[in-house]
Amino acid sequence: MKKYSVLLLMACFILVCVSCHREEATSTGVYGTVTERVGNWMPMVGGNDPSAQEYPIECEVAIFDSIKIYDLHDLYPDRIAISDVNIHEVARTSTTGDGHFKIMIPAGKYSIALVDGDSLIMRSLRSFEGNGWMEKVVVVEGKMTKHDVLVDYAAY
């Protein structure tokens, strides 16, 4: 009798493990780490300036329907109201203490941004796609897409 109980318990354990693995393998979404870069990162300094630091941060990460990111190129304040940009928020989460985040969303094309309540937060002072407000991310069905976010106020 004990033999069958042990076998039944092992069979249940194997089924739970397989089920968890299958669920994990078919997860769809985006994950990554949010880090902040500060200080003097000028090449002539050689990266040895003690003010040049990069570290993970706690913040809110939001996923929006894909927009033409260049529509944000004329916006220069530190933050803007999400309603002023007229975009639809799909999902939101907070990073862990070590800067990690994970958001389960359907496959598709999205824009990812850092937010504070109802405001987008500018992530960079440099002028590049989206002027540091958000980036494009493509999520594939059945896969977790890695997308790290850098908050970059360093000098170059």
Strand-pair partners of 152: 37, 124
154 and 42 Cβ atoms separated by less than 8 Å: no
Q: How confident is the model at residue 130 (pLDDT cuts 50, 70, 90)?
A: very low
Architecture of domain 29-152: Sandwich (2.60)
What predicted TM-score, i.e. pTM, was given to this entire model?
0.74
Residue 110, Cβ density class (10 Å: 0-12 exposed, 13-18 middle, ≥19 buried): buried
Q: Which residues contact 23 (CB under 8 A, 6 or more apart)?
A: none
**Angle 67-120-60 from CA coordinates, rounded to 5°:** 110
Instruction: Pick from 25-34, 57-66, 132-141 the range whose average pLDDT is largest.
Output: 57-66
Query: Is residue 149 pLDDT above 70, yes or no?
Result: yes
Phi, psi dihedral angles at 140 (to 5 degrees)? -100, 140
Closest CA to 142 of 21, 24, 20: 24
pLDDT digits (tens, 9 = 90+) for 45-98: 555 788 888 999 999 999 999 877 666 655 556 678 888 877 899 999 999 999
Range with lowest mean pLDDT among 30-34, 104-108, 124-128: 124-128
Instruction: Pick from 6-15, 22-31, 59-68, 87-96 the range whose average pLDDT is largest.
Output: 87-96
Tokens at 55, concatenated: 């570290």
In Å, the largest CA–CA distance within the chain is 75
